[in-house]
Chains A and B, each alone.
Chain A
Amino acid sequence: MGFPHKSHPRETPVLSKYFGDPEARSLEGWKARGGYKALQQALATDPVAVQNVIKESGLRGRGGAGFPTGLKWSFMKQGDGKPHYLCCNADESEPGTFKDREIMRWTPHGLIEGCAIGAYAIGAETAYIYIRGEFTEPIERMELALAEARAAGIIGANAMGSGKKIDIWVHRGAGAYICGEETALMNSIEGKRGNPRIKPPFPAVAGLFGMPTTINNVETLAAVPHILNNGAEWYKAMSLSSPKSNGSKLFSVCGNVAKPGNYEVVMGFSFKEFLYDLCGGPLPGRKFKAIIPGGSSVPVITIEEAEQVKMDYEGFLEFGTMLGSGGVIIFDDAQSMPKQLARLARFYAHESCAQCTQCREGTAWMTKILERIVAGHGTFEDLDTIFELSDSMTGKTICVLSDSCGAPVCSGITKFRHEFEALITGKRSSTVAVTA
């Protein structure tokens, strides 16, 4: 639902059904809404059977990469004698994304249930929910719900009387964007500096504390109980894009739009109708110009392109961008794209972990060039330099933060070159300097 707005009739509220319903937050309220049945059922079946249901449902990672969740779980070698870990990635630091926040605020028990099922399915006795430090309310909600679940014996040494041990802990981040990268997240939990690790080894082989680990996004895990309750077929059937993209997806909408907020629609929904119908279209007297559809790391598309997009993993890919985290950032015709992209680049320059040379130096350099262009001191060579720079920053580093800086900037220049050229030739100067 479009919380804080009322749910739109064309939404498909699965995860967001109880957003805005304070009673769903308590254990009692959650149970009254059908909670923890899926966990009970899962604990009575074989972990591999649980994996297979998720595999069959076609659930894909909701954090951005879209990797099939059931397949990811099956990488965890059962019975290898090592402790396994599940990490729930609740860092949600991608600019423009705020869906996990609402899941944790309104349905903390739903996430706990998803984590417990996930942990059981991969043979883990311990799960960590890594929440970004700025999420003070979600942290509080999760801690309260965990205390309730622990007291009720739902999690703990004997989860729901199954004889299985499932412990879940909240780990609070300290404010680094990069800690949402799964290997940096594990370093952060271990108490180290949040730097991404070189892969291989992959987390399923050597992850948290060197042990086999699976990292799943909040939205992914929150969907798991619903799939177990209603069956894989139900999950597939609701999608307009089955079999490649199944189920529903939360989209966080922000920027120059009439009704910003979270919206849950089925995969394959028309982006045009989503933008103009559900989100209420542009602000009065304005027109949509450009959209970053999947959190700030994905390439920019024009509104003309966006109107043709089908909202699923492949649909966005077709137009050279990505579904990503589902953080839809909308720019209207009153915005200067060079200024917006310079601000975006500054974010990445600020958040680079400083390990890889290309990222540490490249993001900062790109920001300086863009800010100079915005200040009216750019040259045409600068635009070429940005593309070449982006090339040397892409696909050559440990993680993709470096790539993520070049992607929106280069697509933005390609699609809105005239705005950059106007600044360079002095036909139009941006009056507002970009500042941190």
Chain B
Amino acid sequence: MSEPKLINLTIEGRAVSVPEGTTILEAAKTAGVLIPHYCYHPGLPIAGVCRMCLVDVEKMPKLAPSCATTVGEGQVVHVYSEKALEARKGVLELLLINHPLDCPICDQAGECELQDYTFQEGRADSRYREPKRFTAAEDFGGDVLYVQNRCILCTRCVRFMDDVAEDTALCVQERGDRAGIGRSPNHGLTHAWASNVVDLCPVGALISKDFLNKARSWDLDRTASICPNCSQGCNITLETRDAVVVRMKPRSNTAVNQYYACDEGRLNYHWINRADRLETPVVAGRAVEWDVAIAAAAAALKGKKARVVASASLSNEALYLLKQVIGATGGSGAFRVMQGAEAPLAGVHDLALRADRAANATGAELLGFSRTDNPLAGIGSGDVLVLAGEECVGLDTTAFAAAAAVIVLGTAAPAQLPSNAILLPVANFAEEEGTFTNLRGRVQRFMQAKAAPGFARPTWSVLADLLAALGSKGNLASAESVFASLAGSEAPFGGMSYDTLALKGQIVTGAGVTA
């Protein structure tokens, strides 16, 4: 393909060059100007209906909708001319005439584009003296509640369902100011990716039932993370309030999940906050100090083979250090992957809720762990069973008694552990930093969103101490240095570092896939 032709234009006095066919709205972004808009979204077909993005283009008789107007050579665009400001002020006033102004009880408050632009460009008062239209809120099914009173009919939700989910569940019904978003007959909003309409809604019209009245958006801390619920590796933001995760939202990564996250993924976060956690190291039924527990674990491993049963949702860092433990003792590593129904998002290439309901099966395989349905099989008296993040639900646990010892690195203790088991409390993925490798081999970072409870520590950190106790040397003082060591010795990860991964990730060498 030939290089696209570049078009030169001036936006708010700034010269920009953008490829031919770019819209004025997108071109303005490159000039550092965000033109106010509602109906436009980069992931959706252009509707041009909210009329909020009107700008003044010299030599054009009328104001142009910047989302639907492509750039022209030599164009001079004024975003903040009096004419453009007046038009947008008019749109804002009209959007608010039937709006209930119930920001104090609206979940969207604080992250609402109607609030933002009204504050930025709107009138201080309204000239509207007539009664406001009122419509009752409606349960759309799934996790979605529709509050028509707040709806500005930008139709992002309708276009998402039509063109991205390809399930015509929503439509605009009625005309004039009676219009609202409706569900198509016999259609609930039950599509596996339907909750994205809540994120896409620029106002508080489509809201999450799960998040309803749970927190004010300005009280939330936001952390870049990766969804741990399947092997797709959707980029997410973990939102916490007082160290409690209250919401998981998609974070844009055009190489992985565009702007989206599935319902199952985003709603499966409550376990992160579970209260019945393992908080203290335990040896033979007694709570002990960390150094005592590490020493006990190292002693148990002496002369025995470590049979590691790992969770496929452990970080690459943890799995790498487990591999070192296996290497130091001549043992082996295995993992299993829970399965679920696959649910693709039709309108996006290679995006689905994957059957593998684990974040890092690819990483585990690349690091030499073997995938099996029964990772506990064949454990004998010469083996020390190391359960790393695997709670053994649904597995035959007679192996516990067969092993010489059982060491648990977990957030909770599996049932039917022998009384002499060594329990090492660790952080879950939201409480530590690390990387996952998704099914297409993309290595992506996640950050720490909250503190671990009690004395629990990141898995990589516990393993670093254990390795030291087993006599190995190396700088394993941080997740980053563990990853550096991993990148230095594991060929698929060669050349990677936390800096090069940044927020979009990198694909492992020899992955053989282009995602």
Chain A positions within 8 Å of B, measured between CB atoms, are 176, 178, 193, 198, 349-358, 360-365, 368-369, 372, 381, 385, 388, 391-392, 395-398
**How far does the Cβ of B46 sit from chain A's closest Cβ, in whole Å?**
7
**How far does the Cβ of A436 sit from chain B's closest Cβ, in whole Å?**
12
Chain B residues with CB below 8 A from A381, complex form? 127
Chain B residues with CB below 8 A from A193, complex form? 171-172
Chain A residues with CB below 8 A from B51, complex form? 356-358, 396-397
Instruction: Check if B49 sits within 8 Å of A364, measured CB to CB.
Output: no
Nearest CB in chain B to that of A350: its residue: B176
A/B interface sample: 29 pairs, CB < 8 A = A176-B175, A178-B175, A193-B172, A350-B175, A352-B175, A353-B175, A354-B153, A354-B176, A354-B179, A355-B49, A355-B155, A357-B49, A357-B153, A358-B51, A358-B94, A360-B153, A361-B97, A361-B177, A363-B176, A364-B176, A365-B128, A369-B130, A372-B130, A391-B90, A392-B91, A392-B94, A395-B62, A395-B63, A396-B90
* Given A351-B176, A391-B90, A392-B87; 17 other pairs, CB 8 A cutoff: A198-B46, A198-B48, A349-B176, A349-B177, A350-B175, A354-B175, A357-B91, A357-B152, A358-B90, A358-B94, A363-B176, A365-B94, A369-B130, A372-B129, A388-B127, A392-B94, A398-B49
Chain A residues with CB below 8 A from B46, complex form? 198
Chain B residues with CB below 8 A from A355, complex form? 47, 49, 153, 155
Chain B residues with CB below 8 A from A357, complex form? 49-52, 91, 94-95, 152-153
**How far does the Cβ of B320 sit from chain A's closest Cβ, in whole Å?**
53
Q: In the docked arrangement, what's the CA distance between A397 and B179, Å?
A: 17
Q: Say whether B451 faces chain A, with CB atoms less than 8 Å apart.
A: no
Instruction: Check if A351 sits within 8 Å of B175, measured CB to CB.
Output: yes
Nearest CB in chain B to that of A177: its residue: B175
Across the A-B interface, give the 8 residue pairs with the lowest CB-CB distance, nearest first. A392-B90, A354-B179, A364-B177, A361-B94, A368-B130, A355-B49, A352-B176, A198-B48
Q: Mark B31-65, 1 if CB is under 8 A from A, else 0.
A: 00000000000000011111110100000001101
Chain A residues with CB below 8 A from B48, complex form? 198, 398
- The count of chain B contact residues (Cβ–Cβ below 8 Å) is 35
Q: In the docked arrangement, what's the CA distance between A90 and B104, Å?
A: 51
Q: Say whether B98 faces chain A, with CB atoms less than 8 Å apart.
A: yes
Q: In the docked arrangement, what's the CA distance between A172 and B177, Å?
A: 26
**How far does the Cβ of B126 sit from chain A's closest Cβ, in whole Å?**
10
Q: In the docked arrangement, what's the CA distance between A412 and B51, Å?
A: 27
Q: Say whether B68 faces chain A, with CB atoms less than 8 Å apart.
A: yes
Chain B CB count within 10 A is highest, among A350, A353, A361, for A361
Nearest CB in chain B to that of A392: its residue: B90
The interface residues of chain B, by DSSP majority, are classed as: loop
Q: Which of B65, B128, B172 contacts A354 (CB 8 A)?
A: B172
Q: In the docked arrangement, what's the CA distance between A365 and B91, Å?
A: 13
Q: Say whether B82 faces chain A, with CB atoms less than 8 Å apart.
A: no
Instruction: Check if B95 sits within 8 Å of A361, measured CB to CB.
Output: yes
**How far does the Cβ of A355 sit from chain B's closest Cβ, in whole Å?**
4
**Known contacts being A357-B91, A362-B94, is A385 close to B177, with CB within 8 Å?**
no
Instruction: Check if A361 sits within 8 Å of B98, measured CB to CB.
Output: yes
Name B142-196 residues within 8 Å CB distance of A: 152-153, 155, 171-172, 174-177, 179
Nearest CB in chain B to that of A365: its residue: B97
Q: In the docked arrangement, what's the CA distance between A176 and B176, Å?
A: 12
Chain A residues with CB below 8 A from B49, complex form? 355-357, 398
Chain B residues with CB below 8 A from A353, complex form? 175
Q: In the docked arrangement, what's the CA distance between A355 and B62, Å?
A: 19
Nearest CB in chain A to that of B127: its residue: A385
Nearest CB in chain A to that of B99: its residue: A361
Q: In the docked arrangement, what's the CA distance between A364 and B131, Å?
A: 12
Q: In the docked arrangement, what's the CA distance between A178 and B65, Å?
A: 21
Q: In the docked arrangement, what's the CA distance between A361 and B87, Å?
A: 14
**Known contacts being A193-B172, A396-B63, is A360 close to B179, with CB within 8 Å?**
yes
**How far does the Cβ of B72 sit from chain A's closest Cβ, in whole Å?**
12
Nearest CB in chain A to that of B62: its residue: A395
Instruction: Check if A396 sits within 8 Å of B98, measured CB to CB.
Output: no
Instruction: Check if A360 sits within 8 Å of B177, measured CB to CB.
Output: yes
Q: In the docked arrangement, what's the CA distance between A213 and B52, Å?
A: 30
Name B88-119 residues within 8 Å CB distance of A: 90-91, 93-95, 97-98
Chain B residues with CB below 8 A from A372, complex form? 129-130
Q: In the docked arrangement, what's the CA distance between A388 and B89, Å?
A: 12
**How far does the Cβ of B393 sit from chain A's closest Cβ, in whole Å?**
49
Chain B CB count within 10 A is highest, among A353, A365, A385, for A365
Q: In the docked arrangement, what's the CA distance between A352 and B51, Å?
A: 15
Q: In the docked arrangement, what's the CA distance between A355 and B87, Å?
A: 17
**How far does the Cβ of A294 sit from chain B's closest Cβ, in whole Å?**
22
Q: In the docked arrangement, what's the CA distance between A355 and B47, Å?
A: 9
Chain A residues with CB below 8 A from B153, complex form? 354-355, 357, 360
Q: In the docked arrangement, what's the CA distance between A358 and B174, Å?
A: 17
**How far does the Cβ of A388 sit from chain B's closest Cβ, in whole Å?**
8
Q: In the docked arrangement, what's the CA distance between A355 and B90, Å?
A: 16
Nearest CB in chain A to that of B154: its residue: A357
Q: In the docked arrangement, what's the CA distance between A385 and B63, Å?
A: 22
Instruction: Check if B62 sits within 8 Å of A396, measured CB to CB.
Output: yes
Nearest CB in chain B to that of A368: its residue: B130
Instruction: Check if A358 sits within 8 Å of B130, measured CB to CB.
Output: no
Q: In the docked arrangement, what's the CA distance between A356 and B46, Å?
A: 13
Q: In the docked arrangement, what's the CA distance between A372 and B52, Å?
A: 29
Q: In the docked arrangement, what's the CA distance between A353 and B179, Å?
A: 8
**How far does the Cβ of A179 sit from chain B's closest Cβ, in whole Å?**
11
**Known contacts being A361-B98, A392-B90, is A354 close to B54, with CB within 8 Å?**
no
Q: In the docked arrangement, what's the CA distance between A353 and B91, Å?
A: 17
**How far does the Cβ of A196 sit from chain B's closest Cβ, in whole Å?**
10
Chain B residues with CB below 8 A from A397, complex form? 51
Chain B residues with CB below 8 A from A364, complex form? 176-177
Q: In the docked arrangement, what's the CA distance between A392 and B90, Å?
A: 6
Q: In the docked arrangement, what's the CA distance between A405 and B68, Å?
A: 25
Chain A residues with CB below 8 A from B171, complex form? 193
Nearest CB in chain B to that of A197: its residue: B48
Chain A residues with CB below 8 A from B128, complex form? 365
**How far does the Cβ of A172 sit from chain B's closest Cβ, in whole Å?**
19
Q: In the docked arrangement, what's the CA distance between A363 and B62, Å?
A: 20
**How far does the Cβ of B410 sit from chain A's closest Cβ, in whole Å?**
54
Chain A residues with CB below 8 A from B95, complex form? 357, 361
Q: In the docked arrangement, what's the CA distance between A198 and B171, Å?
A: 19
Nearest CB in chain B to that of A398: its residue: B48
Instruction: Check if B175 sits within 8 Å of A365, measured CB to CB.
Output: no
Instruction: Check if B87 sits within 8 Å of A365, measured CB to CB.
Output: no
Instruction: Check if A360 sits within 8 Å of B176, measured CB to CB.
Output: yes
Q: In the docked arrangement, what's the CA distance between A363 and B176, Å?
A: 8
Q: In the docked arrangement, what's the CA distance between A354 and B62, Å?
A: 21
**Known contacts being A198-B68, A355-B49, A365-B130, is A396 close to B54, with CB within 8 Å?**
yes
Chain A residues with CB below 8 A from B172, complex form? 193, 354
Q: In the docked arrangement, what's the CA distance between A343 and B102, Å?
A: 33
Q: In the docked arrangement, what's the CA distance between A396 and B46, Å?
A: 17
Q: In the docked arrangement, what's the CA distance between A364 and B28, Å?
A: 33
Chain A residues with CB below 8 A from B63, complex form? 395-396
Q: In the docked arrangement, what's the CA distance between A21 and B280, Å?
A: 100
Chain A residues with CB below 8 A from B90, complex form? 358, 391-392, 396
Chain A residues with CB below 8 A from B68, complex form? 198
Nearest CB in chain B to that of A382: its residue: B129
Chain B residues with CB below 8 A from A350, complex form? 175-176
**How far does the Cβ of B68 sit from chain A's closest Cβ, in whole Å?**
5
Chain B residues with CB below 8 A from A365, complex form? 94, 97, 128, 130
Chain A CB count within 10 A is highest, among B49, B50, B86, B98, for B49
Instruction: Check if A354 sits within 8 Å of B91, measured CB to CB.
Output: no
Nearest CB in chain A to that of B61: its residue: A395
Q: In the docked arrangement, what's the CA distance between A165 and B152, Å?
A: 47
Chain A residues with CB below 8 A from B155, complex form? 355
Q: In the docked arrangement, what's the CA distance between A397 and B50, Å?
A: 9
Q: In the docked arrangement, what's the CA distance between A349 and B91, Å?
A: 17
Q: In the docked arrangement, what's the CA distance between A372 and B97, Å?
A: 16
**How far does the Cβ of B138 sit from chain A's closest Cβ, in whole Å?**
17
Chain B residues with CB below 8 A from A178, complex form? 175
Q: In the docked arrangement, what's the CA distance between A360 and B50, Å?
A: 10
